[in-house]
Amino acid sequence: MNDDYVFINEVGPRDGLQNQKTIMSAPARLELIKKLIDANFPGIEVASFVSPKAVPAMEGAGEIMHGLNENKECEISVLVPNLKGFELARDAGAKIISVVPSATETMNQKNINMGLEAAINSSCDILKETKSIKLKARGYVAVAWECPFEGKVDKKIILKIAEKLLLAGADEIILADTIGAANPSSVGSLIKDCVNEFGQDILSVHFHDTRAMALANVCAALTEGIRKFDSCIGGLGGCPFAPGAAGNLATEDLANMLYQMGFVTNVHLEKLPKIVDFCETQLNTSLGGRMTAWLSN
């Protein structure tokens, strides 16, 4: 892969919308996804197959999958919390499946109603199923730096979980800073260890911007050779089960910074402010990373 190319995986339709006060309907989410495809994102997480009782905003994942044509240019992924979610996603035609174990007992309990060991085992079972039918598999490790319930997380636990997910078939590990508690030093430190253990090509990062360090954290990750990032259009996002989880790193800020640093993303920057506008109208709230106004000019 060209060292200057950075893959932006847009997670707005999933992480961005799962915890908004106003619920965006499935047809509106589909419209958003089509706009994101048109802006040339190489990857989009379009939905999660979760319990509508737990996350009402994600209802209609099947409808979204149904409304999307096969798209060879864009990697369309979905998130699943358990085997039932995997089965629903598979039956809806998903081609890329993400599992989401967290690194602590309490976060797993709060998020997916399983303990740490059960969450890892269940994720590994799903990954094996995913690979057995030749689908692509992504493994998040949530609260990779800090848990809202148990505090700082030991790097050894992250390495262990990542190793298990990879052995079970994950094509990619996404280290997730669920509550935006990482800083450039802690990002560099964990990623260095992960790169030493697993290599940089299968690693990706997912930053929330709670403490305004997400862009700085991206720079720390770039320095360690990471070339794949999740982000959310308009800086939307947050996990409903992780207190203090503010919005994700805003895609427009990430894409613009990478462009100005000389990296190639192929994302159409000029189309992003209009997509932010669309989300603002749908959600009836003001959004946008720091770059939205500047990009509009």
Residues lying near Mg ion in the complex (CB under 5 A): 15
Q: Which of residues 13-72 bind ligand HMG (CB under 6 A)?
A: 15, 18, 48-51, 54-55
DSSP state letters, 17-32: TTT-SSPPPHHHHHHH
Out of ligand HMG, Mg ion, none, what residue 142 binds, judged by CB under 5 to 8 A for its kind, is ligand HMG
As measured in angstroms, the least distance from the Cβ of 143 to Mg ion is: 10
Could you count the other beta carbons within 10 Å of the beta carbon of residue 118?
16
For ligand HMG, the closer of residues 18 and 217 by Cβ is: 18
For Mg ion, the closer of residues 15 and 172 by Cβ is: 15
The yes or no reply on residue 85 touching ligand HMG (CB under 6 A) is yes
Q: Which of residues 151-180 bind ligand HMG (CB under 6 A)?
A: 176, 178
Q: Rounded to an integer, what distance in angstroms lies between the CA atom of residue 222 and that of residue 208?
A: 17
As measured in angstroms, the least distance from the Cβ of 112 to ligand HMG is: 4
Q: Rounded to an integer, what distance in angstroms lies between the CA atom of residue 150 and that of residue 170?
A: 26
Out of Mg ion, ligand HMG, none, what residue 113 binds, judged by CB under 5 to 8 A for its kind, is ligand HMG
Helix (H) or strand (E) run with residue 255 in it:
helix 251-260
Q: Which two tokens stand for residue 78?
A: 């979905």
Question: Of the candidates 295, 201, 225, which has an alpha carbon nearest to the alpha carbon of residue 257?
Answer: 295
For ligand HMG, the closer of residues 45 and 295 by Cβ is: 45
As measured in angstroms, the least distance from the Cβ of 89 to ligand HMG is: 9
180 to 209: interface string for ligand HMG, x by CB under 6 A: --------------------------x-x-
Q: Which of residues 113-142 bind ligand HMG (CB under 6 A)?
A: 113, 140, 142
Q: Rounded to an integer, what distance in angstroms lies between the CA atom of residue 185 and that of residue 202?
A: 21
Q: Give me the catalytic one of 74, 124, 239, 279.
A: 239
Active-site annotation holds for 239: yes
Q: Which two tokens stand for residue 172?
A: 């990619």
Q: Which two tokens stand for residue 72?
A: 């060879």
Inter-axis angle of helices 105-112 and 116-132, to 10 degrees?
60
The residue written with tokens 């809806």 in the block is 92
As measured in angstroms, the least distance from the Cβ of 140 to Mg ion is: 8
Burial class (CB in 10 A: 0-12, 13-18, 19+), 199: exposed
Out of ligand HMG, Mg ion, none, what residue 226 binds, judged by CB under 5 to 8 A for its kind, is none
Q: Rounded to an integer, what distance in angstroms lies between the CA atom of residue 48 and that of residue 142?
A: 15
For ligand HMG, the closer of residues 51 and 106 by Cβ is: 51
Q: Rounded to an integer, what distance in angstroms lies between the CA atom of residue 241 and that of residue 15?
A: 12
Count of residues touching ligand HMG (by CB under 6 A): 26
Q: Which residues bind ligand HMG (CB under 6 A)?
A: 15, 18, 48-51, 54-55, 79, 81-82, 84-85, 88, 100, 111-113, 140, 142, 176, 178, 206, 208, 239, 241
Catalytic center residues: 239
